[in-house]
Structure 1
Amino acid sequence: MRLLRACLILSALILPVAAQAAILPITLCDAVWLDAARSREVPVRIRMPAGRGKVPLIVFSHGLGGSLEAGTMWAHAWATQGFAVINLQHAGSDSALFGKPDFKSALNSTQLAARARDVQFALNEVGRKPFEGRCELRRIDPTRIGMAGHSFGAQTTLAVVGQSFPTPFEPPLADPRIRAAVGFSPSPPLTGSPEAAFANIRIPFLSVTGTQDAIPNVIAVTALQRQSPYRLMPPGDKFLLVMEGGTHAMFAGQSFSAGSSDREPTPHIRDTVIAITTAFWRAVFNDDKPALRWLQSPEGARAGLPPQDKFESK
């Protein structure tokens, strides 16, 4: 019920009527796909919206120590608005790390490359499989593919949409099938020049972060530095949402264990993130011009936010 209410704020934040859609039932399918070439299992959770027509696809990548539960709030909301969503779980940087003394050491370029290969493999499987359980994958439109991720998943997202690296990966991590992306708690590159890293990201990109979005015990990135990918990307359909009081865990978009409610997004943060990310996907993939104007104009998304929050575009 809480997620259903969250979807309804698409109108509460004065999203244009043309950018709204009925809340659709969804089909959820869990599976483990085997990448035989890498002898690697990739758990997936698929959400397919009701209907028979073609739909865009959004792939979601969790943060360090995450699982298929990461991004549940965002994935459910997007699916009810007509987008197929596939959550990935990345072996080597997932929840199996918890309790291990080398937890932070998994935040490295080897794991980043493995995650990017998981994304590429999953897109290959989507193109190959007509069904996964009750989920009809052949409904996915291969010309409308988006990528999203939180924390290390945001780094994964940046890697697959064109981030440059001091030592290029072979084969490259970028996947031209991805046409737009959302990064939750993005950060500067692990190595090399931030200016060079993001200079070639030319697809539409939305960065989502908060004024308290830092985890110094894991990585030395300040909340302000999480705005740098947006600042350093070339202009053209680039957006930045900064939520007052938003912590790192809040942008994971999931429910945590009892006693950890302070890690979940506040209703305002949850609802605003859902409204703005959904408008972004609709503008990019559904050619929804009112949604794009709402995102770009001072009278649009900015007007619906309290003064402490910040929303920019370029």
Structure 2
Amino acid sequence: MSNSTIANTQKFANAPTTIVSAKPVVLSAPDRGEDLQVRVSAPATGGDLPVIVFSHGVGWSMDGYAPLADFWAARGFVVVQPTHLDSRTLGLPADDPRTPRIWRFRVEDLKRVLDELDQLEASVPGLKGRLDRHRIAVAGHSWGAQTASTLLGARVLDSDGVPGEDLSDPRVKAGVLFAVPGRGDDLTPFAAEHLPFMKPSFDHMAAPALIVAGDHDQSALSTRGPDWFTDPYFLSPGSKSLLTLFGAEHSLGGIPGYEVAETTDESPERVALIQQLTWAYLRSALYPGDTSWQAASSALEEDSQPLGKLQSK
């Protein structure tokens, strides 16, 4: 397998710089039943820094996804990672009265982060006054990708198939959705019964987004194959791109972290490609006129042995 795409795209990313990281930064959340803990990672220097709010997959926490968070932060982004109520670090019992609404608490966690950027800025030594509040993106993996998608305009369908409340956020300008679940019509009977919120409508998800899917990602929650994870691209309006990774399963090569139980398809080369392409996409999405995405896309298309393929609309 060729690594030429990685080598070619590396020249389009900023050279890595020293980062600082603070955790836990605690945001008061009395209506949540538990204060919200987040991790903030940022370049040690520089100003007017764009922001990425990242939503973790089921069971994870602010401590995961270092391959993404560290890479983005070292190249100019402030990355904020909240710990959602479903995190294994919190040990919420299945019969907790909040459980049926955890999906909604997740969305509120991301919005709370945006509401409290002043506090987050002040909590990290040397960060105050360096955030660019006009350039904000969301990202997430798996359930976290579904969470992030709601801020981009996706809605949850009720039992009658009617789209629920619009939870999109105008402060969010773009997103990256990793292994985001597809249509609720294709859930297994178990998932349909126990995870009723997994019935998204992408009809109103108009904000720009990059969807990243693995062509070997077979979900136990879906009656379909890996193409289930491409629904958000094909069923949403507006400017979208789809990166399909060859041979990738649900961890997409190891974005939650190398050598962890969830990484069944470890591939540092694939993760390196994801790092480069997502950085380039977010740069171009947040900075009109930036050509990083165009250059990185061309490098992938020109590779004789690519790690994946791109589609855009």
1:124 and 2:115 are equivalent in the alignment = yes
Q: 1:129 to 1:310 in 2, by over 3 A?
A: closer
Q: CA deviation at 1:246?
A: 0.8
Q: CA deviation at 1:225?
A: 0.5
Q: CA deviation at 1:290?
A: 2.2
Equivalent residue for 2:191?
A: none
* Residues in 1 aligned to 2:4 and 2:168: alpha-carbon distance in whole angstroms: 32
The answer to whether the 8 Å contact 1:113/1:173 transfers is no
* Residues in 2 aligned to 1:16 and 1:270: alpha-carbon distance in whole angstroms: 13
Equivalent residue for 1:245?
A: 247
* Residues in 2 aligned to 1:305 and 1:271: alpha-carbon distance in whole angstroms: 18
Q: CA deviation at 1:265?
A: 3.4
* Residues in 1 aligned to 2:6 and 2:270: alpha-carbon distance in whole angstroms: 13
Equivalent residue for 1:292?
A: 293
1:140 and 2:124 are equivalent in the alignment = no
Q: 2:237 aligns with which of 234, 238, 245?
A: 234
The amino acid across from 1:141 in the alignment is D
Equivalent residue for 1:4?
A: none
Equivalent residue for 2:63?
A: 69
The answer to whether the 8 Å contact 1:159/1:174 transfers is yes
The answer to whether the 8 Å contact 1:160/1:173 transfers is yes
The answer to whether the 8 Å contact 2:139/2:145 transfers is yes
* Residues in 2 aligned to 1:122 and 1:287: alpha-carbon distance in whole angstroms: 25
* Residues in 1 aligned to 2:285 and 2:105: alpha-carbon distance in whole angstroms: 28
* Residues in 2 aligned to 1:94 and 1:291: alpha-carbon distance in whole angstroms: 35
Q: 1:199 aligns with which of 197, 203, 213?
A: 203
The answer to whether the 8 Å contact 1:150/1:186 transfers is yes
Q: CA deviation at 1:289?
A: 3.0
Q: CA deviation at 1:182?
A: 0.4
Q: 1:21 to 1:96 in 2, by over 3 A?
A: closer
The answer to whether the 8 Å contact 2:66/2:256 transfers is yes
Aligned length: 294
1:115 and 2:106 are equivalent in the alignment = yes
The answer to whether the 8 Å contact 2:5/2:299 transfers is no
User: Identity over aligned residues, as a percent?
Assistant: 26
Equivalent residue for 1:6?
A: none
Q: CA deviation at 1:97?
A: 7.6
Of the structure 1 ranges 160-169 and 140-149, higher mean CA displacement relative to structure 2 is found in 160-169
Query: What TM-score does the superposition give when structure 1 sets the normalisation length?
Result: 0.82
Q: 2:227 aligns with which of 224, 227, 232?
A: 224
The amino acid across from 1:200 in the alignment is H
The answer to whether the 8 Å contact 1:129/1:138 transfers is no
Q: 1:21 to 1:308 in 2, by over 3 A?
A: closer
Q: CA deviation at 1:125?
A: 0.9
Equivalent residue for 2:280?
A: 279
What aligned pairs does 1:180-191 form with structure 2 within 5 A after superposition? 180-190=174-184
* Residues in 2 aligned to 1:85 and 1:97: alpha-carbon distance in whole angstroms: 22
The answer to whether the 8 Å contact 2:67/2:256 transfers is yes
Of the structure 1 ranges 207-216 and 22-31, higher mean CA displacement relative to structure 2 is found in 207-216
Q: CA deviation at 1:288?
A: 5.1
Q: Secondary structure at the match of 1:44?
A: strand
- In structure 2, the gaps of 5 or more residues are 186-195
- In structure 1, the gaps of 5 or more residues are 1-8
Query: What TM-score does the superposition give when structure 2 sets the normalisation length?
Result: 0.82
The amino acid across from 2:267 in the alignment is T
Q: 1:38 to 1:135 in 2, by over 3 A?
A: farther
Q: Secondary structure at the match of 2:157?
A: coil
Q: CA deviation at 1:263?
A: 3.0
The amino acid across from 1:224 in the alignment is D
* Residues in 2 aligned to 1:264 and 1:301: alpha-carbon distance in whole angstroms: 21
The amino acid across from 1:69 in the alignment is D
The amino acid across from 1:225 in the alignment is W
* Residues in 2 aligned to 1:195 and 1:233: alpha-carbon distance in whole angstroms: 14
Equivalent residue for 2:270?
A: 269
Per-residue deviation, residues 153-202 of structure 1 (Å, max 9, x unmatched):
001011121113334555x422111110000101124479x998112222
Equivalent residue for 2:15?
A: 22
* Residues in 1 aligned to 2:83 and 2:199: alpha-carbon distance in whole angstroms: 30
1:86 and 2:73 are equivalent in the alignment = no
Q: Secondary structure at the match of 1:43?
A: strand
